[in-house]
Structure formats: C-alpha cells, structure tokens
Chains A and B, each alone.
Chain A
Amino acid sequence: MTGHSIITARMSRFPSDSHTLDRYLDTGGYEALRKALGMSPQEVTGEVRSANLRGRGGAGFPCGVKWGFLAPGKPAYLVVNGDESEPGTFKDRQLMERDPHQMLEGTIIASYANEVNHAFIYIRGEYPRSARRIQRAVDEAYAAGYLGSDLLGSGYDLDVTVHLGAGAYICGEETALLNSLEGRRGEPRLKPPYYPAAKGLYMQPTIVNNVETLSNVPWIIENGGEAFSSIGPDGSRGTRLFSISGHIRRPGNYELVMGLSWRDLIFEVAGGIPGDRALKCWIPGGASAPWFVPDLHLDLPVTLDDTARAGSMLGSGAVVIMDETTCTLRAAERVVRFFAHESCGQCTPCREGCSWLERVLRRIEDGAGRAVDIDMLLDISDNISPGLAWPPRMTTICPLGPSAVSPILAITTYFKDEIMEHIHGGGCPFG
C-alpha cells in the first residue's frame, strides 16, 4: 500500500544514527548536491518542476513553479519554514531530528537553484532539540565543505543561519515568518502588492519552503523529476508524511503514497480505534481543515484534489481521529480556542470573532447555552468568512480567522443534535 519510502527511508533503516553525517554519507548523502552543482540553476529548477512536487506546508503550491516566480533582484534569500505548529502536526519535527542532513541538502540545492547566497532555517521555539540537531548538521556541513564559500569547488557560496521562533503559530504564515525573521512582531503582510518572491525578507526576493518539501529535493535530483512524478495519483505526486493522532491504536508519522482511502489510512495503516469503538469524525488535514465523517467520507481517496472537492484539505497532513466517546462541542471549542489564542490581532473579524466563537462554545459546554446560540455561531462565522464556502472567502489578511470557522461548520452540520442536547440538558451529556 505504501510502496515507496523517500524521506523516511534512512531513519527507518538506521534508527540509531540516521542523523549523523557519517551515516548520511554512507547512504548516498550529498551526492545529489554534487549532481546539482554540475547542472545549471535553471536545470535544477526544471527537474523539480517536472517532479510536480507540491508544497507540504499546507497550501500545496507547486514547488518548482514557486521557484520560477523568484524576481531577479539581488541579494535573494531562501527561508526554510520549520515553524510547524498546526495542531495535530509533528512530521517536520521528525524530519529535522531524525534526518537533518537530508533537509539541509535540500536547502542547499534549493538555494543553488534560486541563486541564493544566504538561507535561513526558522524553527519554532518549542523545538530546541530540532534546532540543535539542525545546527549540528549545519556545523558539520561547513566543516566538510558543503556550506561556506566555493562549496565543493563549484565557485558557489552559501551561508545558513538557524533561527529560533518564540511561540507564535502565526509565524508559520510566510509573510509573518519574514517579519519575525526581521526582528518584528509576527504579523502577516498584506498581499498584494508584494509577494515574497518579489519582495520578501528585507524587501528582497525570497523563497519560503516547508521542511518536508525540501526534504524531498535530494531524492528528486538524484532520481529525476520524472521518477518522482510517476509515484502516486495525478495532482498528488510523490509520497506524503501523515501525522496521525487522537483516538487511534498506532499514532505516529506515516510516509504514504496518496490515493488510498481514508478507511485504509485509519483502520489499516494506523490500526483503527482502541477498544474497537466507533469512529465519530476526523480532521483530515490539521486544525484548520473542515472535519470529515464516516457516512460521507470514509471511502474517499486521500488526495489533495479529492479532499478539496469534498470541502476540506490535506493541509499540513495532520489527521486527528475522534471516536464515539468524544464530545464534539468540546473538541470544537478546543480548536477554536487555539485560533483565538493565536490570532495576531491585526484584523477585527479574526481578533474579535475567534474569541466570541470560543466564548459561545464554552457557555454551551458549561450548560448556559441558549437556543439562539447555533444561529449566533453561524452569524459570527459568516462575518469572518462570508458565505461559509470552501475554500473560505476572507475578510482578513491571512487565513487564520477563516480556519476557526471549520469546526463550527462541522458541529452545526453533522452534530446539531449534540449541541441541542447541551442546550436543553443544561450541560455536557458526556460529563
């Protein structure tokens, strides 16, 4: 079912030392870099474009196309987004801690392709072990000549700086990340006019790529874009790392070829639900994604496009499983509370709306709900994201506010009876 193992191959085979430079070199490490340095930057970008590698951070934008958008101004920068914070997601942490050189080699190749001489790796502050492993890999790469000036005698120069965040989910949004890296509050920038590829870090052309995206690049260069794009269904090429958590027998990260069904993912790959309890619902792609329910979605194929057509997204690849014992109102409150807490406060619909939603959900959960509260939840949601459509329409600078609407839609669509039970029963029926 899985068939291919690209980015987790080394850590699966050599769990005791997959993070070391020796093991990396032993298993073909930095050969892709040598090959790339023998190609022109345009050829490297062409290879990644032909791979149809879509970004693994959440938006799924084609990586090679993004690289092609980089404006010609100098200096240009490359920023690795290691600010993984979407609830349910822990895949980039594994990639950074268990195979740091793989991500670093991808970073170096991407920098070369984009003719960048300074790259930054932005890692969330709560991941000091990831930062230590990456920093050690960077130090080793400098010592071995894979970083610094005239790397491997190619005449190409590259410096890498590892940067630690300080606890702000919104810095995973690329323009907020750039503000943060400039030493500012992590508030997203208005787009248009300026997209990072034209004016990003220090208002210079900048590419921002996710950790998992870049971890795929060495394999693509070594094996060719064609080989990568022959794996998996159209539109969802290559493999994908899924973080599975919640009420599930075997939680963890799974590298899978997309196209299997949700039923197979949940019950075969991850072993089903403890105690053989019934599946109630699941979040298919991180806390921002609208929820799926067994009656409608269990046999859909797990691909980016099928998930989008069904009104949700694979997002960050985080699958959160909830069984029949779950109070969905409480679960929704917890997801909404996250967005209320992480709102940067720039846009009124998000700043006010998310915390209003949180308060209404909490009062229903606490037994003080009113019959009008369901309409109120939908009205507030409609003010954050008009029409409650998918993909969400926005009244805000970034998609954080509309993300808080996803759990509201889920519980008002699929679990209205449960909300009414809370309201009429004076509290949570799950205790």
Chain B
Amino acid sequence: MEAGLLISIAMVEIFPPSVGTPWSEATSARARQIIDRYPKPRSAVMPLLYLAMAAEGHLTDNGMREVAKRVGLTPAQVRSVASFYTMYKRDHPGRYLISCCTSISCMLLGSDEVLGALEDETEAMAGQDGDGSEELVTVEHVECIGACGGAPAVTVNYELIEGLTVEKARELVQWLHNARPETVGGAECQELFGGRRSFDWGPFDRSSADGPYPAFGPLGTVSVRSESQDG
C-alpha cells in the first residue's frame, strides 16, 4: 500500500496529469501529415518532437504526451527518445538560441574567445533589459556543426553564420536584442555578421527560422521573408 503510494507520487512528479493544453487542430493536422510520411507511426517521433517544441517554444511534458498518444507509445518511451538528442530542449531556451561550435577546427581559429564574447555580451544585454522576465538570447556551446572551412562558426536558431570574429559576435547579440527580428534568416545573418565561408552558398536564401528549432518545410517551421521562394 505504502510502496504503491510512493510509486504513484513518483509518477505524478514525472508526468503531472492535465498540465498544458492538447494540440490545436492545425498542429494535429500537421502531425497527421508527418506520420503519413513514414511506413510506421513510431518513425514520426523525431519530427513530432520538433512539432511539440514549435507549438510551445520548448519540449514540455504536455508535448511529449501529445506525441506519445499519436504514435502509440507511453510518455516515458517518448521521453527516453527525446532525452537522447541534444536539440530537443526541455529547458526553455530564449527566442534566439546561439549555438557556438568549439570543436577542433573552430577551436584552432579562436572559437573559445568567440564563445566568451557571446556569453559576456548576452549577460550584459540581459542586465540592461531590466526585469529579465523573458530570456531573449540563450548561448550554448556545441560540438562540430560542419562549418569547419568557415571557422569559427555559430548557428542562430540553427541558421549558420561562418567566419565570426569576437567583435562580430558581440554585434550579433546586440542586434538580436535591439532589432528582435520576428524570424532569423541564415543568409541575412551571414551578410551582417559573417566572414569567410566553407564554400560558396549560392544565391541568397530567404528562408528563416521561427524559433529555436530547425526551419524545415514538413515541420511547418519555415518563414519566407519575401515574395520569392527559397533559392
């Protein structure tokens, strides 16, 4: 009896029931489209976890429950998948997530100094903002992001900026704070703050990310900044 009670208390703590709201009809419809892309529903867990983040800004217990019931898993099974991958953020990141690569090629060209500048400037700007009720910019260091030829490199909401300097890193944080762009465009950020690239990216890419998760059509997370389509 007592053990049973303890177990149920533990379960309530891990998955408190009825916190958060069920997904909207639009999100549910998107989820059905995603599941239809795969021969088996379980394969849709990863894209659905991104969908859950897009719906609530980060990955919540509610989001994992919504994923679970759509693919026939328990919430705990979904959590076990989500906790394996670094891009599913259970702690609420700011509206802009800056991921600074500090792996070998970036390290050789000064990424530790770039990371330090990003962190310092973010702290300084957050202090200026006053109440600090909303975290606007989150800085994390990540392992290799495949931009070694343009080191040091960062992503903002997974949109790449290559050839950063300490000065440009500070300007990037200031710009995010002051301009507060609705969406983050990779090509635009590269033009404003980037330098040497790993290779010629080709024509200007007008796609941009609407939150701290990858901008990808089937997830519904891409914003197109002008009339013309993504190049």
Q: Which residues of A contact B (CB under 8 A)?
A: 11, 15-19, 75, 84-90, 92-94, 97-98, 118, 124-129, 131-132, 135-136, 161-169, 180-187, 202, 243-247, 251-253, 283, 287, 318, 320, 322, 326, 330-331, 334-335, 338, 341-342, 344
Check B149 for interface membership: any CB of A closer than 8 A.
Answer: yes
Contacting pair A15 B200 (CB below 8 A): yes
Do A163 and B47 have beta carbons less than 8 Å apart?
yes
Residues of B within 8 A of A136 (CB): 217, 230
Q: Chain B: which residue is nearest A184 at the CB level?
A: B81
B37, B186, B216: the one contacting A131 at CB < 8 Å is B216
Residue of B nearest to A341 (CB): B143
Alpha-carbon distance A344/B85, docked complex (angstroms)? 10
Cross-chain contact of A162 among B142, B145, B218 (Cβ < 8 A) = B218
Could you tell me the distance between the alpha carbons of A118 and B207 in the complex, rounded to whole angstroms? 28
Q: A311–B142 Cα gap in the complex (Å)?
A: 30
A125 and B202 contact, Cβ closer than 8 Å, known pairs A166-B50, A169-B143, A185-B80: no
Apart from A165-B46, A320-B104, A334-B103: 12 A-B pairs, beta carbons within 8 A: A19-B202, A87-B143, A128-B159, A129-B205, A136-B230, A164-B47, A167-B85, A183-B42, A183-B81, A287-B104, A287-B144, A331-B107
User: Provided the pairs A128-B158, A132-B215, A252-B198 are in contact, do residues A182 and B144 lie with their beta carbons within 8 angstroms?
Assistant: no
Q: Report whether A338 and B146 are in contact in the complex, using a CB–CB cutoff of 8 Å.
A: no
Q: Do B71 and A183 have beta carbons less than 8 Å apart?
A: yes
For residue B109, CB closer than 8 A to chain A, the reply is yes
Out of A129, A252, A326, which one reaches B199, CB within 8 Å? A252
Known contacts being A128-B159, A334-B107, is A183 close to B50, with CB within 8 Å? no
**Docked-complex contact A331 and B108, CB < 8 angstroms:** yes
Could you list which residues of chain B lie within 8 angstroms of chain A, going by C-beta atoms?
Answer: 37-40, 42-47, 49-50, 71, 73, 80-81, 84-88, 99, 102-105, 107-109, 142-151, 155, 158-160, 186, 196, 198-203, 205, 207, 209, 214-219, 222, 230-231
Known: A90-B149, A202-B40. A166 touches B205 (CB 8 A): no
Docked Cα-Cα span, A344 to B155, in Å, equals 24
| Closest beta carbon of chain A to B59's beta carbon, Å | 10
Query: When the two chains form their complex, are residues A135 and B217 in contact, meaning their CB atoms are under 8 A apart?
Result: yes
- Interface SS, A side: mixed
A76 CB to closest chain B CB, in angstroms? Answer: 12
User: Which A residues are in CB contact (< 8 Å) with B214?
Assistant: 125-126, 128, 131, 164
B200 closest partner in A (C-beta): A15
Q: B49 to A326, Cβ gap below 8 A?
A: no
**Residues of chain B lying within 8 A (CB to CB) of residue A87:** 103-105, 143-144, 148
Closest Cβ of chain B: how far from A327's Cβ, in Å? 10
CA gap between A251 and B207 in the complex, in Å: 27
Q: How many angstroms from the CA of A274 to the CA of B64 in the assembled complex?
A: 50
* A124 pairs with B148, CB closer than 8 A: no
Q: Which residue of A lies closest to B201 (CB)?
A: A97
With the chains together, A244 CA to B159 CA distance in Å? 22
Residue of B nearest to A84 (CB): B146
Instruction: For the complex, give the distance between the alpha carbons of A62 and B75 in Å.
Output: 42
A16: chain B residues within 8 A (beta carbon): 202-203
The closest CB in chain A to the CB of B107 belongs to A334
B40 in contact with A182 (CB, 8 Å): yes
Q: Are B85 and A243 in contact (CB under 8 A)?
A: no
A residues near B46, Cβ cutoff 8 Å: 163-166, 180, 183
Provide the residues of chain B in CB contact with A98, threshold 8 Å.
199-200, 202
B39 touches A118 (CB 8 A): yes
A98-B199, A338-B143 known; A246-B230 Cβ under 8 A:
no
Q: Are B105 and A85 in contact (CB under 8 A)?
A: no
Which residue of chain B is the closest to A322 with respect to CB atoms?
A: B108
Distance between Cα atoms of A19 and B230 in the complex (Å) = 11
In the bound complex, residues from chain B placing their C-beta under 8 Å from that of A118 are 39
Q: List 15 A-B contacts (CB under 8 A).
A: A85-B146, A125-B214, A129-B159, A131-B214, A132-B205, A132-B216, A135-B217, A168-B85, A183-B44, A183-B71, A185-B84, A243-B148, A253-B199, A320-B104, A334-B102
Q: Let me know if B85 and A331 touch, CB within 8 A.
A: no
Complex Cα–Cα for A136 and B202 (A): 15
Instruction: Report the bound CA distance from A252 to B230 in whole Å.
Output: 24
For B222, give the chain A residue with the smallest CB separation. A132
Contact between B148 and A320, CB atoms less than 8 A apart: yes
Q: Which residues of A contact B143 (CB under 8 A)?
A: 85, 87, 169, 338, 341-342
Across the interface, do A164 and B215 meet the contact criterion of CB distance under 8 Å?
A: no
Minimum distance in angstroms from A125 CB to a CB of chain B: 5
